[in-house]
Amino acid sequence: MTTKAAGYSAISSYSRVEILHRIQENPQRTVTDLVGATKLHANTVREHLHRLLDDGYIVSQVEHRTTRGRPRVLYSAADGAGSSSAVQQRKVKEAAHRGDLMRRVLPSELPPELTTEALHQVDALVENLVDAGFDPIVDESDLTIDLTPCAHAEVQAAHRQVLCSVHLSLMQSVIAQAGGPLTVDGMRSSCDPRDCIVQLSARG
């Protein structure tokens, strides 16, 4: 598996991954919350939040206050269900469009067991993983996505648990935003930390 150059992904920086992880765990976080949790400078946290917003990973809202004082900005993860970003919605639609075009060129690649909605979910998920620096291999029959070998297992070995959690949450949000029968079950267990196979399932 090859990975993209680090600078192109909003989650290539572990500091942004950590911020995203904390927002995924507890929504409606403020800059002050995140500064205290990460020990990063407030300006650094704001820069990371802007990048995550621009790439559709999180959403923001201004706090409603009934007392005096400047309203705070609250940040939550774009989970594709309760909250989604315009950027996330656009990416999902564009991925489905590109997937449809590809299948017209290569009609034999269309797996009969997957509905159009499910295929669009896979399209969105694959493009999200590519943007994150992976080179996913999809098995439509087994409903798996192989990301082996996982570069994070060695490069960010000390933070592997957080990275896996963040990537799984992102995949679940993309699947939810795309809409359809597929869900993300999780990652298949393996003795080798470099092995990474994501298992999907189809409702019904």
Condensed to tens digits (0 to 9), the pLDDT of residues 126-175 reads 999 998 888 899 998 899 999 988 877 777 778 888 999 999 999 999 99
Q: What is the pTM of this model?
A: 0.86
Instruction: Tell me if 64 is assigned to some domain.
Output: yes
Cα–Cα distance for residue pair 73/61, rounded to 1 Å: 6
| Average model confidence (pLDDT) across the chain | 88
Instruction: Tell me if 1 is assigned to some domain.
Output: no
The domain tally of the chain equals: 1
Instruction: Tell me if 129 is assigned to some domain.
Output: yes
Tell me the average pLDDT across 11-31: 94
Tell me the average pLDDT across 181-201: 88
Q: What is the pLDDT of residues 66-85, one digit of tens each?
A: 777 788 999 999 998 888 89
CATH of the domain at 172: 1.10.10.10
Q: What is the pLDDT of residues 88-131, one digit of tens each?
A: 999 999 999 999 998 888 765 555 578 999 999 999 999 999 98
| Residue closest to 23 by CA, chosen among 43, 51, 3, 4 | 51
| Residue closest to 96 by CA, chosen among 167, 169, 170, 177 | 177
Token output for 8: 């192109």
Structural domain of 117? 6-202
